[in-house]
Structure 1
Amino acid sequence: MAGTRQFNEEEALDSAMLLFWRRGYGATSMQDLAEATGVLRGSLYNAYGDKQSIFLLAFARYRRNFMAQVRDTLEQPTVAEALRAYLDLSIRAMTLPEEERSGTRGCMSTKIAVDETARDEAIRTALRGLLDELAGLLEARFAAAPEEVALPPAAAARLLVTATRGMVVVERVYQDEGRLRETAESLATLLLPK
């Protein structure tokens, strides 16, 4: 039947997501995507148009999955517990053993953000969307009990988003979980009132 995809789109986009996450945007070619998804390159072009379109769909999947994890993590009785759970989630994502992470490490959004070949406005808009949603979730959690946070909720959320994205970069350089945990504790100390 014309127009019917002859491949499992969910599986193909999951495979594409993992490939972009592992290799970055610029280092991933349409041929790489064809090999990773098991879908012929021509079929990928026919279904999605180009690499950027595939990336945006794959990144949307990553964003949904990541935000669901963050929402679950923030459902703690106190802001202190929610903050520490979020920091722990972030560090665990960066430091999972190879066999548990499908070749991925850290935050896909940060990896793409530092990729010089991923400067198109559509990609930047997708990255901003994830960061803004993340900040919104954190701000809402902090706003539910503002007396438990040493900064205004919006400022605390922006600081936390910025710091955890920076931690991804530091992890890539040092690969030292202890260093990350010390940084996380410093963040918690700054954000939680004495």
Structure 2
Amino acid sequence: MPGDVTEYRLPSARAVAIVAVLAVIASVIAAVFVPSPDLPALIPVMMLAGWVAWMLFSVPLIRLSPTEVVVRNSLHSVTIPLTAITEVTGGRRLTIRTIDGRTYIPAAAAGPGTSFLGGAMRRTQAYGSSIVPVRNVDDLRLDSELLQTPATTIARMIRKRVDDLDADARRASRGPDGAPQGVAPPVLNMNVIVVTIGVVAASAALILVLL
């Protein structure tokens, strides 16, 4: 059912896309109204930078349906049947492990986790600088599932979808030998790759013309 499909993107995806477009527009306005021979060269540079930012932040996507998880990173995508998932963890990053031994880390579910300084302080508190007994060491260790990040939220949602699979769906996903089917190899995002090549070529040509 369409209503059961949920999509996740990076929280900053829309803001990055807006900033990228505004930066390109600003460079064009500056090149037109500011009398400087160097400003026109900023247009292709900002155009390339804006596209790269859009590709890294706006293209990544996780589409969760009742039967599968589609993971789209910047340059490739993979479709993971829920019946093939053996483990899902969140925290600093979303990690999906499947029955064929593969591990997938979606770019659209980055988790900030705990800062390096905060982690270092907690490790110092937990283990000390000398051989002394320390109480409540387990409470001081960093548990990825306790980190309230987008990756943890999505991991819980995927686990719930896996748990909700009925017997018919599990039987339908099995191969002729009765074993659960694995995951098909990732496919390249050819539209993104083709546009990237075009933007790089156009930017390089504009730089040569404007310099």
TM-score (norm 1): 0.26
- Structure with the higher helix share, 1 or 2: 1
Instruction: Please identify the structure whose Cα radius of gyration is greater.
Output: 2
Q: Which has the higher strand share?
A: 2
